[in-house]
A and B are shown apart, each in its own frame.
Chain A
Amino acid sequence: MIRITVGDEAIEGRDGQTIAGVLIGAGRTAWRTAQTGDRGVFCGIGVCHDCLVTVNDVEGVRACQREAVDGDRVEREVRA
């Protein structure tokens, strides 16, 4: 079991899951604010860049590619 924070909330996932896997496992389908609404996973293999999040203060991390590590701080990205 691992625990990461998403904004102010702590969520749990299974060891080895990607950040996208943890988020979806916790019932979330969208976590980025795009110009026309929220986005989550689309291609699932690192090609479409729809699922980008900020992880531990580094912007532009593909949630579907990044394996979650206990204690990761995940933040929403907003495209104005």
Chain B
Amino acid sequence: MTAATGTVGTTGTTGATRVAILGGGPAGLAAAQAALAAGAAVTLLDEGGRLGGQYWRHHEGLTDRRLQHGWARFERLRGVLDRAEVHTGASVWSAEASDGVVRLRAVVGAADAAGRVALDIEADAVVVATGAHDLALPVPGWTLPGVTTAGAAQALAKRDGVTVGRRTVVSGAGPFLLPVAQSLSVAGSEVVGVHEASRLGGLAAGWLPRPWQLVGKAGELVEYVGALARHRIPYRIGSGVVRVLGTDRVEGVVIAALDADWRPIPGTEREVACDSVALGHGFTPRLEVAIALGAVIEGDRRGRFVVVDESQRTSVDGVFAAGEVTGIGGADAALAEGAVAGFMAAGGALDDGRMRGPLAVRRRMRAFAARLERAHGIQPGWTSWLSDDTVVCRCENVTRRTIAVRADAPLRAMKLATRAGLGACQGRTCGRAVEAIVADAGGAPEGFDRRPVLAPVRLGEVAAVATGGPEQ
């Protein structure tokens, strides 16, 4: 094994505040820039092989330029990082905060390789900018090959230049479905239709009055709508995929009209042939790092986020949070919050002139996020498109019925009795759905977000903490 340990993050100007930034998406990058501007010694870590997070996911030789937005901003943010210590391919698997010192442990190397290099970061403050992942609600047949999340379709198209199928149905909720449809088209799949579960009433109350805020910039929205028109992609509101058809892989879907509660309206079902399906009903924040650091999380099963104050400070000294972990607001919100978090983590002041811009954007984007949730938020009727034997937990193949039967047990006991959420993804994929099913059956779910192992790590890499590991 080649594991080695080195304490870093202590470099930089002597006496400078050591700020560690976890996540290299829009929030983390903006945090790094602001922390550097405030004079901090910055260490940035991201699990991905490249910086950019979800929004700027890319590969130099593979990404189609048409799918990159705000690229100049990314290049500016990346440009200042030569003054920071940057680790990509760094999976942070443990995070602790005590007595004003933050400690992050990462393994660095090719994804999931054995014997990666151990990296031990000690800092005075940390910005948690771990982002979010798709929330795809279960649908009968969703375990068939060819069904992916909308984010997967986006990531594969952008990063690898591929699409899973040739005829794709996009279904879910929220403005994110638009760039996904565009990416699929550009990368080589016909998009048979985009199905938005929300109805016009919800949309009217939400972003329709201010559509230019949709993705932050009017240009981006206009471009997506243009792309839909150019590729002749139908966009249907108040409808969704309620069943995926096929035996060994996707052969089609059943689309139904959905009422305001997202309950399928009987008699409206129709079959559509396709070979792939992209599902995205929203996003789930990646909370485990913030929780491990002790930060207070608030919300219910419709959404739980890290609680932050005006300075993006969490309930724990020296721990800041920014971006999708604090609320789903899109890349512009993440950038603004990141700038505030980085600046404040470095010891800056909120009334500093440099904070005026980010604070204004943050205010505007938070209002937008609230409207987004009002317009597209998951409605409780969705569980009625499940059948008793629909697999809900994909890792352990646990059905709706199995979960509902033990819904009155405490969450921990329910999981151990049914195995729901106990598999490889640790409930990241099914957690919110399981909570909804438990709630339907009268139980009181307490949440799936606590995951002490923050990223995949091998036992030898964990053991190296105790044994010291061989020298680098």
Q: Which of A29, A34, A45, A49 contacts B164 (CB 8 A)?
A: A29
The docked-state distance in angstroms from the alpha carbon of A24 to that of B153 is: 12
List residues 405-436 of chain B with CB under 8 A from any CB of chain A.
423-425, 428-429
Chain B 43-85 interface mask (CB, 8 Å, partner A; 1/0): 0000111000010000111100000000000000000000000
Using a Cβ–Cβ cut-off of 8 Å, how many residues does chain A contribute to the interface with B? 39
**Closest B residue, CB atoms, query A31:** B145
Contact at B160–A17, with CB atoms within 8 Å?
A: yes
Counting residue pairs across A and B whose Cβ atoms lie within 8 Å, the total is 137
Q: A21-B161, A24-B156, A39-B145 are in contact. Are A58 and B113 (CB under 8 A)?
A: yes
Contact at A47–B428, with CB atoms within 8 Å?
A: yes
Contact at A52–B424, with CB atoms within 8 Å?
A: yes
A50 to chain B, nearest CB (A): 6
List residues 112-158 of chain B with CB under 8 A from any CB of chain A.
112-114, 133-134, 136, 143-149, 151-156
Contact at A60–B62, with CB atoms within 8 Å?
A: no
B232 to chain A, nearest CB (A): 25
Contact at B165–A21, with CB atoms within 8 Å?
A: no
Q: A14-B161, A36-B143, A43-B134 are in contact. Are A67 and B112 (CB under 8 A)?
A: no
Contact at B425–A47, with CB atoms within 8 Å?
A: yes
Cβ of B394 < 8 Å from any Cβ of A? yes
Chain A 46-69 interface mask (CB, 8 Å, partner B; 1/0): 111110100100101110111101
Contact at B134–A18, with CB atoms within 8 Å?
A: no
Question: Which residues of chain B are near A15, meaning CB under 8 Å?
Answer: 61
Q: CB within 8 Å of B: which residues of A?
A: 14-18, 20-21, 24-25, 29-30, 34-50, 52, 55, 58, 60-62, 64-67, 69
Query: What would be 19 A-B contacts, judged by CB atoms less than 8 Å apart?
Result: A14-B62, A18-B160, A21-B62, A30-B145, A37-B145, A38-B145, A41-B164, A42-B147, A42-B149, A43-B149, A43-B151, A44-B156, A48-B425, A49-B424, A60-B112, A61-B112, A65-B111, A66-B113, A67-B111
